[in-house]
Amino acid sequence: MHAPVLLTEAIDALCVKADGTYVDGTFGQGGHSRLILSRLGEQGRLIVFDKDPTAILAAKAIQDKRLYIEHSSYANLQTALQALEIDGVDGILLDLGVSSIQLDKATRGFSFRQEGPLDMRMDTSRGRTAAEWLATVTETDLKEVIRDYGEERYAGPIARAVVMARAQQPITTTLQLAEIVAAVVRARGHGWEYRQHPATRTFQAIRIHLNQELEELSMTLPQCVNMLNPAGRLVVISFHSLEDRIIKRFMRQQAKSDRLPRKLPVRAHEALMHSQQTLTVIGKKIRPSADEIAANPRARSAIMRVAEKSGTGIITR
């Protein structure tokens, strides 16, 4: 079973009110959602989102009239909530990345350690598979994806090797791609003894690109602010430095209130400052404890950030 990372810390950070309305933007296997439901009273509501059909099936297995299920990306959060005639919510949780269930199931194609079809789609009901994308992507575009999303220093040689390999036969399985990448890395003096598998960054980059993960995160964060009630909490758990950078910069930008002319009268300055500041960052980033990492090594890269809605400001961009 998938072990939710920072489970208690995340739900504590939401400050769940018994009669509040909350959003879990990444239901997964429902670990965070179940704890939220346990803290809600009869008048409380929880709306859950997930792109993965298997996650939606898991959500439907929970018989609870307080639970509303959306088979959709959290990038559609504002539209979906408004369709439900919900004007504001008291807390939003986003737990980014892939779940253990997705990684461990070979047929999903996320893992470089098991033989399976090269799929990598979060939503298996739509879109191109990784195999279909690799069959047509140019060497230049592939290099940019691996470099920018995987932060892989051998992006160029890996892209070249993939293009050369697909000219011989289609790349359709996870182990095919993993071996192509590993051969490039080993040829440059780095082998399987390294802490990470040589294909880790390449698989991660292709998955992020294929599912538009960073783009959807950037689209969603302003929607979260718009839909939060005053004093509502936004809690985001990320597992990748690029994700965390987006979250950190967004929260800091929305928390800033010092961009006004210095010589404004005090009252005018205070009024404008209040209207501009939409978030207050709560505490510092939170990481899993040593005990949690020992029990669940996949938690080691997790970072949680928390912010609170400062006023009634709306982000229009």
DSSP 192-234: TTSSS-TTHHHHHHHHHHHTTHHHHHHHHHHHHHHHEEEEEEE
Q: Looking at the domain assignment, is residue 106 inside a domain?
A: no
pLDDT at 195: 62
Burial class (CB in 10 A: 0-12, 13-18, 19+), 209: buried
Higher pLDDT, 224 or 274: 224
Percent of the chain predicted with pLDDT > 70: 88
How many Cα neighbours within 13 Å face the side chain of 7?
A: 17
Q: Looking at the domain assignment, is residue 80 inside a domain?
A: yes
Higher pLDDT, 138 or 277: 138
CA–CA gap between residue 285 and residue 291 (Å, rounded): 18
Q: Looking at the domain assignment, is residue 260 inside a domain?
A: yes
Q: Looking at the domain assignment, is residue 114 inside a domain?
A: no
Q: Look-up: residue for tokens 């009110």?
A: 17
Whether residue 129 sits in one domain with residue 206: yes
Q: Looking at the domain assignment, is residue 188 inside a domain?
A: yes
Tell me whether residue 102 is annotated as binding: yes
Q: Looking at the domain assignment, is residue 316 inside a domain?
A: no
Q: Where do the DSSP E strands lie in the chain? A: 21-24, 45-50, 67-71, 89-95, 228-238, 279-281, 303-309
Whether residue 249 sits in one domain with residue 261: yes
* CATH code, domain with 135: 1.10.150.170
Tell me whether residue 50 is annotated as binding: yes
Residue ending a domain, choose from 155, 188, 210:
210
Tell me whether residue 209 is annotated as binding: no
pLDDT at 292: 94
Number of structural domains found in the chain: 2
Whether residue 260 sits in one domain with residue 190: no
Give the type of residue at 51: K
Average pLDDT in the chain: 90
Tell me whether residue 32 is annotated as binding: yes
Tell me whether residue 95 is annotated as binding: yes
pLDDT tops 60 at residue 194: no
* CATH code, domain with 20: 3.40.50.150
pLDDT tops 50 at residue 269: no
CA–CA gap between residue 3 and residue 298 (Å, rounded): 9
> Residue 33 is part of which domain span?
7-100+213-309
Section 244-263 average pLDDT: 80
Whether residue 277 sits in one domain with residue 139: no
48 Cβ neighbours under 8 A, 6+ residues apart: 23, 24, 25, 27, 30, 33, 59, 67, 68, 69, 70
Q: Looking at the domain assignment, is residue 195 inside a domain?
A: yes
β-strand pairing of 45-50 with 67-71: parallel
How confident is the model over 196-226, as pLDDT tens digits? 789 999 999 999 999 999 999 999 999 999 9
> Phi/psi at 239 (nearest 5 deg)?
-130, 5
Q: Among 2-11, 121-130, 305-314, where is mean pLDDT lowest?
A: 305-314
Q: Looking at the domain assignment, is residue 18 inside a domain?
A: yes
Q: How many CB atoms lie within 10 A of CB 233?
A: 22
The residue among 115, 94, 30, 16 whose CA lies nearest residue 305 is 94
How confident is the model over 12-25, as pLDDT tens digits? 999 999 999 999 99
Residue ending a domain, choose from 191, 210, 229:
210
CA–CA gap between residue 117 and residue 107 (Å, rounded): 6
pLDDT at 135: 97
